[in-house]
A and B are shown apart, each in its own frame.
Chain A
Amino acid sequence: MSNELLAHELRHRRNGAVVLGLVLAGYAFFALAISGSLTQTVDNLTKNMPQSLKAFVGSNVPGGYIVGETFTLIAPIALVAYAVIAGSSAVAGEERDRTMSMLSAQPVTRTRILTAKACGIALSLVAVTALFWVGMALADLAYGSPLTPGGLAAGATHLLFLGLAFAAIALAIGAATGRPAIASSTAGGIAVAAYLSNAMLPLAGMGRWAELSPWYYALGSDPLRNGLDLPHLGVLTGLGAIALVVAVLAFRRRDLKG
């Protein structure tokens, strides 16, 4: 029965996830394709910059500036934005649209509704990230680059876990409040603030504080070069798990809105 809920959720998300995945894949493919020539130019520009500024610009990544932009900016922002929108609309969106009234009158518990939605979002994020990785890996095969498919997979996995964590946060706020606008603005605000602090604090010599930001655990270990960082992935997983528990507890307790 809850498979049915999950299937329903996936049907609902399928088109959006596939479109976003293809766009990211296409973007990544072309980014890698042209990175060879552009890297040289940017490297010349950033040669004398301090390391933290290079990190900010994204030119310290193997593959150079373009790959850096793709991995530290474009892809994570797209994934996190998708995660926040999907997470905040999952439960609260059905209340806003007033479809929750009928759904919650079916013989399914609130916990099952919520877990089906969480799984649906997680699988969508996996699909988007996988498509993104395929785009990168294809370009890597076609044009060659200093990156390995394994490094790309590690980078993509870190981004996936970042997306999952923010999706869970947005889901929890939506499940607790029943208001998708509050959920998306709060979770989105947290994501932006965390992004900026991860990017800016090292510039101000306050690198330790950046470790409070989830973005640090997605990008800080430089997974493109160093592969998976399990402790960092563990932090993101823990964050997501806590948010999910909060989501379930809050959603079970309260009055439904729609």
Chain B
Amino acid sequence: MTEAAIRTSGLTKYFGDLAAVDGIDLEVNTGEIFGFLGPNGAGKSTTIRLLLDQLRPTSGHGQVLGLDLRERSLQIRQQIGYLPDDLSLYPKLTGRQTIDFFARLRGGVDMAYVDELAQRLDADLSRKVGEYSSGNRQKIGLIQAFMHKPALLILDEPNSGLDPLVQQTFQEMLREVRADGRTVFLSSHTLSEVERVADRVGIIRHGRLVVVERVDELKRKAIRRLDFEYSEPVPASLFAGVEGVRAAEVHGAFAEVSYEGSVNKVLQTAMTHEVINLHSRDADLEEIFLAYYRDTDDNDDPQGHTRSSAPSASKDSSHVQ
């Protein structure tokens, strides 16, 4: 019962000389929502396609639902729901025909549940897929992934093309899957897309798993930004030396502050002058990466990730007056 939903060890995939996935040791627990984050070309889709046996690993191995990826792929695929990135469907089939086809291919799909999903996602099943907007196509893909109540959902950038309302419904559906004791593995570029639902996230970059962290922990470490507008120009050195401040840029009456950890000290400092406007910006993924690279500064990092990101990091800190 306590077996991991996904476990890989040293999973590696080379395309020619390029290590798209480079020695990934991943463990996703049964019953959790795991966010798999990384920038373009980091190796997210490649990892997922290795799990599905669509690509064959150069080295390393793994298990999904306790079954070997290579030997037992058919049994694995019986128990998972998958949404590919950049989803393509048969353009001449209607949404309904598409769902029916995949449902019959699996067997044992409850069509009443399909209708329920379609209704919740507000999906139009009557038209030909080729005529759909990309969001509508994505909904067909989601229904197809959820319809057989799989033990594990593997979703590659599921949010793409969905409007905010549908995204909300989708996140509810994910929470229900978790409440059901089932597992979700979903990839994304940005933390903001997964932070509300994911229990843990793994960050992949250049094919390497940089960190796996609980989301609440990650948020605590994340660098965030506040922009202040003052009633009159403030000293350029206002935020220098304040606890948690990573970078601060002051232009007359405007200040942009990046900080990590508690916002308290930043606010206290900011309030020493009269603030007329305050704007908070979401921490974006890149900043979280940078935060992690800084953390690994002291550690031995043979891949040189730290060095490659160092210029932008030092550029930031040079703004501290």
Contacts and interface: CB of A to CB of B under 8 A. Distances in A.
Chain A partners chain B: yes
B90 interface: yes
Contacts of B77: 105-107
A104 B48 CA distance: 13
A99 B90 contact: yes
B143 to A, nearest CB: 12
B60 to A, nearest CB: 15
Contact of B54 (A4, A104, A253): A104
B279 interface: no
B55 A255 contact: yes
B106 A255 contact: no
21 contacts: A1-B107, A4-B101, A4-B105, A12-B92, A98-B86, A98-B88, A99-B89, A101-B84, A101-B88, A102-B141, A104-B54, A105-B54, A105-B80, A106-B102, A107-B77, A107-B78, A108-B74, A109-B74, A253-B56, A255-B56, A256-B49
A4 B97 CA distance: 12
A8 interface: yes
B74 A102 contact: no
B84 A106 contact: no
Given A256-B54, A256-B55, A102 B105 contact: no
Report which residue of A8, A97, A98, A105 has the largest number of chain B beta carbons within 10 angstroms of its beta carbon: A105
B84 A108 contact: no
Q: Interface residues of A toward B: which range?
A: 20 to 34
A106 B106 contact: yes
Interface string A79-104: 00000000000000000011101101
Chain A binding surface, main DSSP class: loop
Interface residues of B, number: 26
A99 B88 contact: yes
Contacts, number: 60
A202 interface: no
B104 interface: yes
B306 interface: no
Interface string A163-194: 00000000000000000000000000000000
Nearest to B91: A97
Interface of B: 49, 52, 54-56, 74-75, 77-78, 80, 82, 84, 86-90, 92, 101-102, 104-107, 141, 144
B155 to A, nearest CB: 11
Contacts of A97: 88
A5 B105 contact: yes
A33 B141 CA distance: 53
Interface in A208-257: 253-256
Nearest to A109: B74
B104 A4 contact: yes
A107 B74 contact: yes
Nearest to A253: B56
Contact of B144 (A12, A102, A107): A102
Contact of A107 (B89, B90, B105): B105
Contacts of B52: 104-105
Contacts of B88: 97-99, 101-102, 258
Contacts of A1: 104-105, 107
Contacts of B55: 255-256
Nearest to B82: A105
Contacts of B56: 253-255
A106 B150 CA distance: 12
A205 B86 CA distance: 57
B54 A108 contact: no
B87 to A, nearest CB: 7
B242 to A, nearest CB: 49
Contacts of A99: 88-90
Given A4-B105, A105-B82, A107-B78, 7 more contacts: A4-B101, A12-B90, A99-B90, A107-B105, A253-B56, A255-B56, A258-B88
Contacts of B82: 102, 105
The 7 closest A-B pairs by CB, nearest first: A98-B88, A105-B82, A101-B84, A107-B78, A256-B54, A255-B55, A4-B104
Contacts of A258: 88
A108 B104 CA distance: 12
A4 B98 CA distance: 12
Nearest to A104: B54
A157 to B, nearest CB: 32
Contacts of B75: 107
Interface string A101-127: 110111111000000000000000000
Nearest to B83: A102
Given A99-B88, A256-B54, A108 B141 contact: no
Contacts of A253: 56
Interface centre among A8, A97, A109 (most CB of B within 10 A): A8
Contacts of B78: 107
A105 B52 CA distance: 6
Contacts of A109: 74
A1 B106 CA distance: 7
Contacts of B80: 105
A102 B107 contact: no
